[in-house]
Chain A
Amino acid sequence: MASKRAARSGLVFLVLLVGALLAPVVVAASPGDAAKGEAIFKQKCAACHTVGGGKTVGPDLKDIGAKRDREWLTRFITEPDKVLAAKDPIATALLQEYNNIPMPNMGISKTEVEDVLAFLAPGTVTTTPPPPTTATSPPPTSAIPPPPPTATVISPSPTASPPLPSATSITTPVSPTPSPAPAPLPTTLPGNPQTGRDLFTGNTPLKNGGTPCIACHNIGGLEGLQGGALAPDLTATFSKYGDAGTASILSTLPFPAMKPLYGDKPLTPEEITDLKVFLQQAGTEQSSPVAGRLIVYILIGLAVLILVVQIVWRRRLAGVRKSLLLLR
């Protein structure tokens, strides 16, 4: 029995090995698949970028192949955090132009970049073939979203540079440079802010089973214990990203930390509408930092606990012999 099972698992292993060896041959042979690239673009880039649709959170990428060197593009798309940290002049200029919102590392592999570039900048040819180290990553398919990125795919060290917009960068007042996406005036947007609030706080569960936002985020206008302190305060999000930016972020939730939470539990279009209008409304409220309050609550809770223990077990036996010494 055991030997038969071992033989079978050995066979499976062999098939996998052959597949893994063949995969890079297939991928390396093609310079990039524009259809695949479009799918990746829609999934990972469209939150902030358009092709010929004008500036939103990030630049319009129409004819980007003509504007930028292909090698620079490859490098920036795969590891924008490192490029920014290295004070690359083009990247720094772009950062300033686009409201100090850094491009996050989306965990796009070099083979995927080939596809994306085939879609964005057809005609240009890569000079360096993709390194074989990426060979083991499965070829992305357009229908199925890729599995949550593993640590090897995301930037290797979180301390190297912040891949996410930090809390300070969001809450700082909007820089005097003209916003690329002029924040729409608080005109009436579709959606119900109250429903959005319930979705945010978890009073109404998200339809696809995602974690309510409040678990990690705080936002202006919440009562009681307020939101979590694990992720940035979302009070200024709407005014910063604008209607289109917020909508695209909510639909893709492109940040690496949110991928594993919402990758297979996306928000529905109705939820996005409601949450967006709630975020807009919350932008007018004040939020207070969470950490300080939490310590106060913990201390109060501890004091209450000690008090209860002291009352419940106030007659416990203690210090019989020592009290004799004191009586003396």
Chain B
Amino acid sequence: MDIRAQVSMVFHLDKCVGCHTCSVACKNIWTDRRGTEHMWWNNVETKPGTGFPTLWEDQEKYKGGWVKKGKKLTLRLQGRVRTLTNIFHNPNLPTVDEYFEPWTYRYDDLFNSPEGHDQPTARPVSQVTNRPVDIVSGPNWDDDLGGSAIYARNDPNLKSLTDEERAQLRKLERIAFFYVPRICNHCLNPACVAACPAGVAQPGAIYKRGEDGIVLINPEKCRGWRMCVSACPYKKSYYNWATGKSEKCILCYPRLESGHAPACFHVCVGRIRYLGILLYDASRIKETASVDDAELVEAHRAIIQDPNDPEVIKAAKANGVSDNMISTAQRSPIYKFVKEWRLALPLTPQFRTLPMLFYVPPLLPVLAAVKDGHYDIAGVADEELRPLLGSLDKLRVPLRYMASLFAAGNVGIVEQVYRKLIAVRIFMRAQRVKDMPDAEMQQILAQANTTPEEVRAIHHLTAKPTFEQRFVIPPLNREMAVEATVDPYQHAHEAGFSFRKVIKRR
């Protein structure tokens, strides 16, 4: 056993209202510099949709993540030989069109134009070239199904559906969508780290931080080969064209180190975000990432270790995980959602990077029944939610879509999650309105494989958690870690995203 600690996350999609506050907070703090205009370390996508950058899930095109070849796990992008031959021209990079050409407006023209007969306008200009541009796409171009005839229609997850199901999804009265906020997953098996050509000679420019598992790029080592941009299947590593370095989400580690939640977590209006420590067995990463698609989610759950198990605690301590870290892991909301309740699932686990950001699938678009082939709200009210338990296969957004997104196609796993989510809803409703006979309630709980105590705990952490319950931030003791080299007070002033010296393009 090689027990390590990882700062992990859960996003509860049922609570996301798609307000993009997280994106804006992140943008304002980290990516408002020149060269980072096209970066959205945090972005919120509408599903069905093609996301940002366009069609990022389609690894036939982008070549991100890992593939299993027999027993071997290899990068889909390239091996070492191809890394060398492609080093001056990486052929699998998204272009600016796949992101969007960042633009601003010439606001000055509104004030400084000479007097005339026409109203002055603020023309859009590119933030890269400073020349006028025609805006053809943006980071949320398909927000709320905008342009769905082009974008939502080409969602790669729709391939798992039948033609009939796809046609029904496009009918006005059946249209459903939900939001998927995405940040860097800080994976256990990060493809970006593996693909970094600078990493051939240890240590590389990208690394997974030992104490908390945050994946970071060292800008002083980065040579801008951009292999991480291609290799990350989530396209969460971006190239800064002004400095010639790549950058990515840093999980606001300076905030974490001073005990604050990352900015996107802190500002979240729907309070959908949870953050805590998971303990995992690093010796099993390769084995876990190499299982068949259908078993990926189970294997991923299995690599996460019980923080209350004395064996695990002992192994963790042997590895230098602090007592504080372990006690934080024992209170982790992530451990409850992912492992105890088995509600949160990794995003597109088929890329085999073992992402450590988990999603509770959205109940909302699913919780609408079809009666006699029609979407029937009245019928649902009449039957008091009961038909939902038996008709999971007739939902608005088919389960197979969710399975493609969260379980590498394993519908059984998604179905278990939904049964439990529905059970929580029916049980808590019955507590208040007393509309469900006890016998039937027992049956529902049994079907969902849960207990009244668990349901109450899920309800509490979902609906009314406190700030401290959502964000169980470990004391990272950074001041102690840096004490040897820097004055801790000095370090507190310096923490942030910048360069200690002016970076020149190489």
List residues of A whose CB falls within 8 A of some B CB. 313, 315-322, 324-325, 327-328
Q: Chain B nearest CB: distance from A109 CB in Å?
A: 51
**Which B residue's beta carbon lies closest to that of A315?**
B91
Asked if B137 lies at the interface with its beta carbon under 8 angstroms from chain A, I say: yes
Residue interface bits B75-100, CB-to-A below 8 A is 1, else 0: 00000000000000101111101100
B94 touches A320 (CB 8 A): yes
Cβ–Cβ < 8 Å partners of A315 in chain B? 91
CB-contact partner of B95 in A318, A324, A327, A328, under 8 A:
A318
Q: Chain B nearest CB: distance from A120 CB in Å?
A: 65
B93 touches A324 (CB 8 A): no
Cβ–Cβ < 8 Å partners of B209 in chain A? none
A324 touches B54 (CB 8 A): yes
B98 touches A320 (CB 8 A): yes
B146-154, B161-169, B249-257: which lies at the interface? B146-154
Q: Name 16 A/B residue pairs within 8 A (Cβ), A-sorted.
A: A313-B91, A317-B63, A317-B91, A319-B97, A320-B54, A320-B55, A320-B61, A321-B50, A321-B55, A321-B98, A324-B54, A324-B55, A324-B150, A325-B150, A327-B150, A327-B154
CB-contact partner of B92 in A316, A327, A328, under 8 A:
A316
B97 touches A317 (CB 8 A): no
CB-contact partner of B50 in A318, A319, A324, A328, under 8 A:
A324
Asked if B62 lies at the interface with its beta carbon under 8 angstroms from chain A, I say: yes
Bound form: Cα–Cα A327–B50 in Å? 14
Cβ–Cβ < 8 Å partners of B53 in chain A? 320-321
Q: Chain B nearest CB: distance from A32 CB in Å?
A: 63
Q: Chain A nearest CB: distance from B96 CB in Å?
A: 10
CB-contact partner of A322 in B50, B63, B97, under 8 A:
B97
Bound form: Cα–Cα A34–B97 in Å? 81
Bound form: Cα–Cα A85–B93 in Å? 63
Cβ–Cβ < 8 Å partners of B54 in chain A? 320-321, 324
Q: Chain A nearest CB: distance from B75 CB in Å?
A: 15
Residue interface bits B51-82, CB-to-A below 8 A is 1, else 0: 00111001001110000000000000000000
Bound form: Cα–Cα A322–B150 in Å? 10
A328 touches B149 (CB 8 A): yes
B151 touches A317 (CB 8 A): no
Cβ–Cβ < 8 Å partners of B55 in chain A? 320-321, 324
Cβ–Cβ < 8 Å partners of A313 in chain B? 89, 91
Bound form: Cα–Cα A313–B89 in Å? 9
From A315, A324, A325, residue with most partner B Cβ within 10 Å? A324
Known: A324-B55, A328-B149. A317 touches B61 (CB 8 A): yes
Bound form: Cα–Cα A29–B429 in Å? 124
Cβ–Cβ < 8 Å partners of A327 in chain B? 150, 154
Cβ–Cβ < 8 Å partners of B149 in chain A? 328
**Which B residue's beta carbon lies closest to that of A321?**
B54
**Which A residue's beta carbon lies closest to that of B92?**
A317
Bound form: Cα–Cα A20–B393 in Å? 105
Cβ–Cβ < 8 Å partners of A322 in chain B? 97
Instruction: Give the secondary structure class of B's interface.
Output: loop
From A316, A317, A319, A325, residue with most partner B Cβ within 10 Å? A317
Q: Chain A nearest CB: distance from B171 CB in Å?
A: 19
A317 touches B154 (CB 8 A): no
Cβ–Cβ < 8 Å partners of B137 in chain A? 321
Known: A322-B97, A324-B50, A324-B54. A317 touches B150 (CB 8 A): no
CB-contact partner of B150 in A316, A318, A328, under 8 A:
A328
Residue interface bits B131-168, CB-to-A below 8 A is 1, else 0: 00000010000000000011100100000000000000
From B53, B58, B95, residue with most partner A Cβ within 10 Å? B95
Cβ–Cβ < 8 Å partners of B61 in chain A? 317, 320
Bound form: Cα–Cα A324–B50 in Å? 10
Bound form: Cα–Cα A320–B61 in Å? 8
State the 10 A-B residue pairs at the shortest beta-carbon distance, nearest first: A316-B91, A321-B54, A313-B91, A317-B92, A320-B98, A320-B54, A320-B55, A321-B97, A324-B150, A324-B154
Given A317-B62, A324-B151, 15 more A-B residue pairs with CB atoms under 8 Å apart are A313-B89, A313-B91, A317-B61, A317-B92, A317-B94, A318-B95, A320-B54, A320-B61, A320-B62, A320-B94, A321-B54, A321-B55, A322-B97, A328-B149, A328-B150
Q: Chain A nearest CB: distance from B158 CB in Å?
A: 13
Cβ–Cβ < 8 Å partners of B50 in chain A? 321, 324
**Which A residue's beta carbon lies closest to that of B141?**
A321
Bound form: Cα–Cα A196–B93 in Å? 56
Bound form: Cα–Cα A316–B63 in Å? 10
Cβ–Cβ < 8 Å partners of A321 in chain B? 50, 53-55, 97-98, 137
Bound form: Cα–Cα A324–B58 in Å? 13
A317 touches B95 (CB 8 A): yes
Cβ–Cβ < 8 Å partners of A328 in chain B? 149-150
Bound form: Cα–Cα A325–B50 in Å? 12
Bound form: Cα–Cα A325–B97 in Å? 12
**Which A residue's beta carbon lies closest to that of B95?**
A318
From A313, A316, A320, A321, residue with most partner B Cβ within 10 Å? A321
**Which A residue's beta carbon lies closest to that of B97?**
A321
Known: A324-B50, A324-B154. A317 touches B93 (CB 8 A): yes
Residue interface bits B446-490, CB-to-A below 8 A is 1, else 0: 000000000000000000000000000000000000000000000
Cβ–Cβ < 8 Å partners of B94 in chain A? 317, 320
Bound form: Cα–Cα A226–B439 in Å? 100
**Which B residue's beta carbon lies closest to that of A317?**
B92
Residue interface bits B240-277, CB-to-A below 8 A is 1, else 0: 00000000000000000000000000000000000000
Bound form: Cα–Cα A320–B58 in Å? 10
Bound form: Cα–Cα A324–B94 in Å? 15
Q: Chain B nearest CB: distance from A140 CB in Å?
A: 53
Cβ–Cβ < 8 Å partners of B93 in chain A? 317
